[in-house]
Amino acid sequence: MNDEKIINKKNLLNTILLKMKFSFQIILLLLYFKAFSSIEEDLQISISNIGAELTSIKYKGKEYLHDESKFWDRKSPILFPIVGRLRNGYTIIDEKKYNMSIHGFGKDLIFQEIGKYIFKATSNNETLAQYPFEFDLYVSYTIDKNKLIYNYTVFNKNEKTMLFGIGGHPGFKCNYFEEKSSIEFEEEENNIKIIPVILPEGLMSNETKDGNKLIKNKKILEIKKDSFAQDAIVFTDIKSKSVILKDNGKKILKFNFEGFKYLGIWSAEGNAPFVCIEPWYDPPDYINSNQRFEDKKDIIKLEKNKSFTVTFSIEFFSETGDSNGLMNNFKSLLITMCLILFLF
C-alpha cells in the first residue's frame, strides 16, 4: 500500500512537472516570437495606392519621411515616364505633340496591391492621351533590417520600342536651414559635374560646371540656406555609389543609388524641414531640346515584351547609434536561449 502511494505521488509529481515544463515552453515561445517580431518591426512603412507612394518610414519608432505638406505635397513619388520638366510642357512622339506635367503621371496612377509591399499599375485612356505607350508599372519595397529597398519595373506591352525616363524623389526630415546638415559622398569626387538648372523654365543648362567647387574636401556637400535658390543641385559624372545624409554631425541615413547616372538634391524654399535625395536614370529636358522624345538625353529604350528594372536603397540610422546593434545582439541571444531551453 505504501509503495502504491509512493508511485501515485511520483506520478502526480511527474504530471505537475510536465505541466510546468509545458507552461515554461509556452512562455519561451511567446518570448521568442516577441523578440523576433521586435527585430523585424524595427523598420516600418506605410504606402498609398496613389502612385504606390510611401507615406511613412519609421525606424526605431522615429519618422524619417517628411510630413510638411505646406512646403511640398509629396513624400516619395516615382518619376515616370519623364524626370523633371519638358521644354514648353510638351514632347513630340511619332510627329504628334503630347503634354505632360513635371515628373510625369506615374505619381498619380492608381496602383493595385498584388502582394506584400508589391504594387501594379497599367496604362489606360488617360495615360495614352499624354503618352502613347502601353505598359505595366510595378513598384515594390523590401525591408531588410534597417534597409529599405525600392524596386521599379516597367514592362513594355507595345509592338514597338517603348521610350521612357524614370527616377525616385523621396524627401527626408532634415533641418538644413540651420546650416548644420550635409551630404557626404562615399568616394572622393575628383571629376564630378553639376548641371545648372535654368529658371524659370526648370530645364537643364547646356554647360556643366565643376562640382568640386561646391564639395568640401572632395566629399562633403554642406547644405546652406541658399543651396536651393536656383532649384535642385543636379550632379552627374559621379564616382560614388552612395551618399550619407547628416544632421548636426549625426548620420541620418545612407542612400545607395548604384546604376543611376544623375543625383538631384532639392528642398522647397521657405525653410522647409526636409531634403530630397533624387536618383535619376535620365535628366529633364535641356534648354535647347528639340522636344523629340526619342532624342532626350539618356532616354531608356525598351524593346517589346521586355522589362526594365531600377533599384535604390536607404539604410537608416537611429539616434542611439551603436546601442541598436547591441540591442539587436541581445535580442538574437534571447532568441537562441529560448530555442535551446525549449528543446530541453
Q: How far apart are CA 111 and CA 117, in angstroms?
A: 11
pLDDT band at 318 (very low <50, low <70, confident <90, very high): confident
Could you report the per-residue pLDDT of 88-102, keeping only the tens digit for each?
999 999 999 999 999
Residue 341: its pLDDT value, please?
A: 53
Q: How far apart are CA 17 and CA 14, in angstroms?
A: 5
What's the mean pLDDT when you consider all of the chain? 88
Residues 137, 70, 256, 192, CA torsion sign: positive
Residues 282, 287, 288, 292, CA torsion sign: positive
Could you report the per-residue pLDDT of 107-122, keeping only the tens digit for each?
999 999 999 999 999 9
Q: How far apart are CA 81 and CA 293, in angstroms?
A: 11
Residue 76 vs residues 107, 130, 170, 181, 336: alpha-carbon distances, Å: 9, 22, 4, 20, 38
3-state secondary structure of 232: coil
Q: What is the pTM of this model?
A: 0.82
Could you report the per-residue pLDDT of 129-162, keeping only the tens digit for each?
999 999 999 999 999 999 999 999 999 999 999 9
Chosen CATH of 41-323 out of 1.10.260.40, 3.40.50.1100, 3.40.50.720, 2.70.98.10: 2.70.98.10
pLDDT band at 72 (very low <50, low <70, confident <90, very high): very high
Residue 269: its pLDDT value, please?
A: 80
Which cell numbers in the block locate residue 10?
511520483
CA angle (250, 254, 259) in 5-degree steps: 155
pLDDT band at 301 (very low <50, low <70, confident <90, very high): very high
Residue 192: its pLDDT value, please?
A: 97
Residue 164 vs residues 60, 80, 294: alpha-carbon distances, Å: 37, 7, 9
Residue 331: its pLDDT value, please?
A: 53
Residue 40: its pLDDT value, please?
A: 47
Domain ranges within the chain, ordered by starting residue: 41-323
Could you report the per-residue pLDDT of 239-257, keeping only the tens digit for each?
999 999 999 889 999 999 9
Cα-Cα end-to-end distance for the chain:
35
How do 307-316 and 147-156 pair as beta strands?
A: antiparallel
Neighbours of 126 (CB within 10 A): 11
